[in-house]
Structure 1
Amino acid sequence: MNKFNRLIVQVALWLVIGLVIWFNQTLNTTWINENLVIFLFQVLLIYLLIFVLAPKLLFTKKYALFTIVSVCCVMVLAFIVTWFFKIPMEPHAINNMPAPGPPHDSGPRQPPSHYLFNVLILGISFSLALALEVFNHLKKKEAETIKAQNVNLENELKLLKSQINPHFLFNSLNNIYTLAGIDTGKTQKSIINLSDMLRYVLYDCEQEVVSIKKEIEYIENYLKLFALKSSKSYPISIKLNIENNGAYVAPMLFIPFIENALKHSNIDDRNNAFININITATSTEINFDVENSKPQNKVVKDGVGGIGLENVKKRLAILYPNKHSLKIVENETNFKINLQLKLI
């Protein structure tokens, strides 16, 4: 709500209050004559607060100056109303009760009493308007903070994705390079698989979420590409129990775990190594398991990689706060990861 609309709302509020009091005075025109000027000065005071005092002083943290200027404005405006717009205060009945008698000294009512009354009215108007302005400012700041946090999260996710994708491309090209010297026919097939995967990475992964079906197709293509570098099959098992293909998940969320299993299981040792992948998906939950063997002797791998697992942990914290469970179980022979995602 902009400043002008807030001014209209507050003026309308005091107008409604005045009308209610006027009806309670049995539509006495004398009451309007006595209070019209003070109402106009209420409007002026609220205008000064919304357009000048709050944005220039209060919200720039000049609190002392704001307090001094505000008090001066209330007192000066009350002074002007009292001494320059003197309206006769005719005795009249309020709610059919007689007006109070004169003071003991039987003298005329002194202006200071009327002045204090105006200070009170303007002070109440100013305080209410100030409370509404502070509330509106806090809501605006909260919205700006949430927007800034969302932008930061979006930028961080883009950065994490940009770290994952080159890693994936590097591994895939290594596989194709190895295959090129063995079988040109398989090389062509692997290039087709790679193009499908790149299409997924470049286009589908730009979305916040993708269907679990597409994510699984990407994983299957990745494993096919990996398997093509050898004429013998690898001890890799993948089991799927997909009750709802329309379930949606953040893209590229599972593949870092699979890359990690391929890298550290020494899968080339077909007699002693294994990788088991299980994915279950319902309309409310996705359960992902990957278990791989650990070689008895430490296998020396290339120094590239290792960023996937850390990135996926960060993405999980951002995308599924309080909606995911990541368990890592490791012993001397096996390494297992279980990831549960709540979709609602």
Structure 2
Amino acid sequence: MFEATKKWSYYKKIKLVELLYLFILLVIIPLSIGLQIFERFSFTLSLILVNVLQLPSIVFFYRWLLPRTLFNKRPWWFLASLPFYLLLYELNARIAFLLMINLPFIPEKYRSNLASVEPWHWTGSLIQNMGYTLLILLSSIGLLFIRELFKRQHIVDQLQSDKLRLELDQLKSQIQPHFFFNTLNNLYALSLQGSPKTSVSIANLSGIMRYVLYEAREEKVLLAKEIAFLHSYLELERIRHNDDTVLQFCVQGNPGGTLIEPLLFLPLIENCFKHSLHHKIPGNQVQLLMTIDEEEITFQTSNLKAPKTEVAAKESGIGLYNVRKRLELLYPERHQLLVTEEDSQFIVTLSVQLNPPR
């Protein structure tokens, strides 16, 4: 429906930020430190590995501890739990050292350096680098702030999307009563005349009602189905006129698998009927033209202008307002609606870009 469906979701953004954070913390920072203090690159790779092995305690901190204390409005619980977390991190660091000491592919000198701190003995001193631990604590809090920002933005976007959907449903519901009212008027006129076309028209109306009440509830429908619906609707309208040429509908291009929002063009056609064709204007003719290509759909209506009363002008404005409102919600910056009045001619041209700009 909206362009937001093509943007990155909230969860994808969170995953990307988290992976970037861990990559910087566990790879980039140890790499930059190792290149400065070690002469052998194998020592730098070993430093990266020993940091990666401390991942469990880091993930525990920003995924479990922070959300349940500091980011759950419990700052005192956070401060009280910090000493216990430092002990947990110390345990993780000692386990990482022990694993590294027993890995045969780690340089022997590097393993000797790790063994010199005797990670298997508790001597009362910490083997962890407190400066690096502090960096982890602060950066993890920053990561949680970013996640919270994305979460709030996600909620705002969701509320906005729901609001737009309600507006679209309301606008669509304003279209359907007009359609049924006009069609029933046509059938009423046929029944008064005792026309044999009444039964055929009722069958056409049944198919149209099925489309409007069921298929038109979808966000998008095949353009071919929408065109077929418009043809059926126009056939019902033609019954009211003796001259078949008074109403012309031409489609240029192949709709193929193109999808379009349902009932998008119907209000423009209804305006032609209500404010022109239903008036006895000499030489009156309604021309509808739809051109389709891979990038754009253009729909143009052309009809003679009837003398406007104050009520008719107001109702016409409401119809075009609803069309403009739907277009703003469905195709922001991807549509153009031009209304042109030339002498006695009234022309409306709607262009819709099928694909959003890259």
Under a length normalisation based on structure 1, what TM-score does the superposition of the two structures give? 0.68
The SS at the match of 2:325 is helix
1:272/1:14 CA distance change after superposition, 3 Å: closer
1:300/1:154 CA distance change after superposition, 3 Å: closer
2:64 equivalent among 28, 47, 51 = 51
- Superposed counterparts of 1:324-339, under 5 Å: 324-339=335-350
1:91 matched to which residue of 2? Answer: none
1:199 aligns with 2:220: no
1:311 equivalent among 322, 331, 335 = 322
2:219 equivalent among 178, 191, 208 = 208
1:53/1:297 CA distance change after superposition, 3 Å: closer
Whole-Å separation in 2 of the counterparts to 1:221 and 1:206: 19
1:265 aligns with 2:290: no
The SS at the match of 1:265 is helix
Matched residue type, 1:334: Q
Matched residue type, 1:188: S
Whole-Å separation in 1 of the counterparts to 2:197 and 2:314: 27
Whole-Å separation in 2 of the counterparts to 1:13 and 1:306: 60
1:179 matched to which residue of 2? Answer: 190
1:128 aligns with 2:128: no
The SS at the match of 2:264 is coil
Alpha-carbon deviations, 1:105-163, whole Å to 9, x = none?
Answer: xxxxxx9xx99x96534321211211222223333333333333333333332222222
Unpaired segments ≥5 residues, structure 1: 83-93, 96-110
1:127/1:255 CA distance change after superposition, 3 Å: same
Percent identity (aligned) = 29
Matched residue type, 1:206: R
Matched residue type, 1:156: E
1:217 aligns with 2:228: yes
1:328/1:46 CA distance change after superposition, 3 Å: same
2:181 matched to which residue of 1? Answer: 170
Matched residue type, 2:287: N
1:289 aligns with 2:300: yes
2:117 matched to which residue of 1? Answer: none
Whole-Å separation in 2 of the counterparts to 1:73 and 1:194: 71
Whole-Å separation in 2 of the counterparts to 1:77 and 1:244: 63
1:138 aligns with 2:149: yes
Over aligned residue pairs, what C-alpha RMSD do you find?
A: 4.6
Q: How many residues are paired up?
A: 298
2:94 matched to which residue of 1? Answer: none
1:251 equivalent among 262, 267, 272 = 262
2:69–2:77 contact (8 Å) kept in structure 1: no
1:74–1:122 contact (8 Å) kept in structure 2: no
Alpha-carbon deviations, 1:6-33, whole Å to 9, x = none?
Answer: 8xx9699669988997x969999xxx9x
Whole-Å separation in 1 of the counterparts to 2:351 and 2:304: 21
1:243–1:283 contact (8 Å) kept in structure 2: no
Shift of 1:266: 4.7
1:11/1:290 CA distance change after superposition, 3 Å: closer
Alpha-carbon deviations, 1:228-264, whole Å to 9, x = none?
Answer: 1344546222222123433222110111001011111
Alpha-carbon deviations, 1:211-230, whole Å to 9, x = none?
Answer: 22222221121121112134
Whole-Å separation in 2 of the counterparts to 1:292 and 1:127: 69
Unpaired segments ≥5 residues, structure 2: 1-10, 91-108, 111-123
Shift of 1:191: 0.8
2:167 matched to which residue of 1? Answer: 156
1:333/1:75 CA distance change after superposition, 3 Å: same
Under a length normalisation based on structure 2, what TM-score does the superposition of the two structures give? 0.66
1:288/1:44 CA distance change after superposition, 3 Å: closer
Whole-Å separation in 2 of the counterparts to 1:186 and 1:56: 75
Whole-Å separation in 1 of the counterparts to 2:85 and 2:306: 86
Matched residue type, 1:214: K
Shift of 1:289: 0.6
